[in-house]
């Protein structure tokens, strides 16, 4: 009996040691692997349709992999210098902006004191400068860290290819490792698939569409540094509750202050359109899924952004979602939960 117990303990110790060592081994590229898995999940519907035509897993996965590489590399190659240039322009422009005069016109009684208005101007100037400086540094690092980014991109590409090609086999392998009954496994994967679709398609993809639509308005009406503003609109669009308004509304105010009434009106139309597009696109993209509470999605995105970087915008809410999925299975109630609810057409 003692010998059997000793063997089990020894096996667990060896297994735990190997898991820890594997984690530290993969830690530098772990986020890249996760990004590859997420991209494979997004492109799986396209892969399945292509596979029906080609009848070959390798050819289907290679074609989609080539498409993804071109989709990432071409914009990165041509647009990165433009974005860096525009971020530098915005940084230097923020140094010369007069924030107090417009505010005095809007709040004359609040800023009647010269000392208070001067202090308020310094605070706003410092805040705007830090934001624009952070943007400029973040985009400039893309060129500085290019060798590292290239290696990470290789990991993403290889992960994307193999998960896309062998995804079903990998899922079956994961199921074989889980210590749950088949019924619990079925519920677990149904919940997980639904919540993943809700976050990736219902929040990320739709948010990107909203940001791109806002950015089109910037380009059409000749807003300065439109490309950088488009990226900011996409980033704001994927954030629940916040939305693209936080980007296009200040642009409209800036245009009105400069006497550009028609461009301001046009940007407003595109901004309002981007805010309402969710009602039309969401039922098409996410026909039936488990919806996560917007507040938790926002908390997950912000905390994920701090912990994982940009990838955390997806990982943060997914980690919280999977925890809630486990809690829902443990709760085992027929009534819908407060944080997870069924979303249907």
Q: What is the pLDDT of residues 121-142, one digit of tens each?
A: 677 777 777 777 777 777 777 7
In this predicted structure, the answer to whether residue 340 has a pLDDT above a threshold of 60 is: no
Higher pLDDT, 43 or 114: 43
- Across the range 320-338, mean pLDDT stands at 70
H or E element at residue 159: helix 146-177
H or E element at residue 340: strand 340-344
In this predicted structure, the answer to whether residue 171 has a pLDDT above a threshold of 70 is: yes
Q: Which of 86-90, 168-172, 264-268 has the lowest mean pLDDT?
A: 86-90
Indicate the pLDDT class of residue 342, thresholds 50, 70 and 90: low
Highest mean pLDDT among 3-7, 81-85, 140-144, 285-289: 81-85
Break the chain into its structural domains and give their ranges: 30-96+123-177, 182-345
| Average pLDDT of every residue of the chain | 79
Q: What percent of the chain has pLDDT over 70?
A: 83
CA dihedral 260, 262, 264, 269 (to 10 degrees): 180
pLDDT of amino acid 160:
93
pLDDT of amino acid 345:
44
CA dihedral 99, 94, 240, 214 (to 10 degrees): 100
DSSP state of 239: S
pLDDT of amino acid 64:
93
Dihedral sign from CA coordinates of 182, 185, 189, 195: positive
Higher pLDDT, 299 or 280: 299
Residues 6+ apart with CB under 8 A from 217: 223, 248, 266, 267, 269, 270, 271, 274
Tokens standing for residue 153? 């991109």
pTM (2 d.p.): 0.73
Q: What is the pLDDT of residues 192-224, one digit of tens each?
A: 777 787 778 777 888 888 889 999 999 998 888
Highest mean pLDDT among 39-48, 79-88, 111-120, 175-184: 39-48
pLDDT of amino acid 142:
72
Highest mean pLDDT among 111-120, 246-255, 332-341: 246-255
Higher pLDDT, 136 or 169: 169
């Amino acid at each position: 009996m003692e010998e059997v117990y000793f063997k089990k303990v020894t096996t667990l110790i060896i297994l735990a040691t190997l898991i820890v060592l594997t984690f530290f081994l993969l830690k530098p590229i772990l986020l890249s692997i996760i990004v590859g898995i997420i991209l494979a999940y997004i492109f799986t519907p396209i892969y399945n349709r292509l596979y029906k035509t080609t009848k070959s897993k390798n050819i289907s996965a290679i074609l989609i992999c080539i498409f993804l590489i071109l989709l990432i590399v071409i914009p990165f190659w041509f647009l990165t210098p433009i974005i860096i240039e525009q971020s530098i322009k915005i940084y230097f422009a923020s140094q010369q902006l007069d924030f107090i005069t417009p505010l005095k016109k809007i709040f004359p009684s609040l800023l009647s004191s010269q000392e208070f208005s001067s202090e308020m101007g310094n605070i706003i100037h410092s805040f705007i400068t830090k934001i624009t400086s952070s943007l400029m540094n973040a985009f400039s690092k893309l060129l500085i860290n290019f060798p590292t980014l290239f290696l990470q991109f290789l990991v993403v590409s290889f992960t994307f290819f193999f998960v896309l090609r062998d995804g079903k086999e990998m899922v079956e392998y994961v199921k074989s490792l889980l210590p749950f009954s088949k019924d619990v496994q079925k519920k677990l994967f149904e919940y997980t698939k639904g919540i993943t679709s809700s976050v990736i398609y219902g929040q990320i993809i739709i948010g990107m569409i909203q940001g791109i639509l806002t950015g089109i308005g910037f380009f059409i009406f000749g807003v300065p540094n439109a490309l950088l503003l488009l990226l900011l609109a996409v980033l704001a669009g994927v954030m629940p509750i916040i939305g693209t308004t936080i980007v296009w509304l200040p642009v409209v105010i800036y245009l009105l202050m400069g006497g550009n009434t028609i461009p301001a009106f046009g940007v407003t139309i595109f901004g309002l359109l981007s805010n309402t597009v969710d009602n039309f696109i969401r039922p098409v993209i996410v026909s039936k899924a488990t919806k996560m509470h917007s507040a938790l999605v926002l908390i997950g995105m912000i905390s994920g952004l701090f912990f994982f970087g940009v990838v955390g915008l997806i990982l943060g809410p997914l980690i919280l979602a999977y925890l809630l999925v486990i809690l829902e299975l443990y709760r085992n109630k027929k009534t819908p939960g407060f944080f997870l609810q069924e979303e249907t057409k």
